[in-house]
Amino acid sequence: MPRYESWAKKAKCINENYLWGVIIGNIWCIKSADIKYPKKLKKKITKRELVEVLETELEGKVTGFDEDHYPDKQWLRTAIYTLNPNNNIFSTPEDVLKSNIPKQ
């Protein structure tokens, strides 16, 4: 379920239908024991792109979000990283090394 910060920001994705779907198991959500916090992203990515990546990772499971009601970016990053820490949107140690090497 989107993080508590989403609730404080009054995220549009948190509504009665979404919560009911999570409770009865029709809508996918992260179990708190499974959460892994993400690394840095390789590049800037829009919220819509993050949703598309999440939907790809979930392989058809229902998220309960629509184009007008997305959770915040941090929750999306956390959900994607929890499902697949090796997703190509996240920086690798090699990416970090490349960015620290001065260009000549």
Domain ranges of the chain: 4-100
**pLDDT value of residue 54:** 92
What number is the average pLDDT over the span 11-25? 82
Report yes or no on whether pTM surpasses 0.95: no
Q: Is the pLDDT of residue 102 over 70?
A: no
**pLDDT value of residue 10:** 59
Q: Is the pLDDT of residue 95 over 80?
A: no
Residues 37-92: pLDDT tens digits? 887 888 888 988 999 999 999 998 888 887 777 888 888 999 999 999 888 888 77
**pLDDT value of residue 4:** 47
**Residue 48, class by beta-carbon neighbours within 10 Å (0-12 exposed, 13-18 middle, 19+ buried)?**
exposed
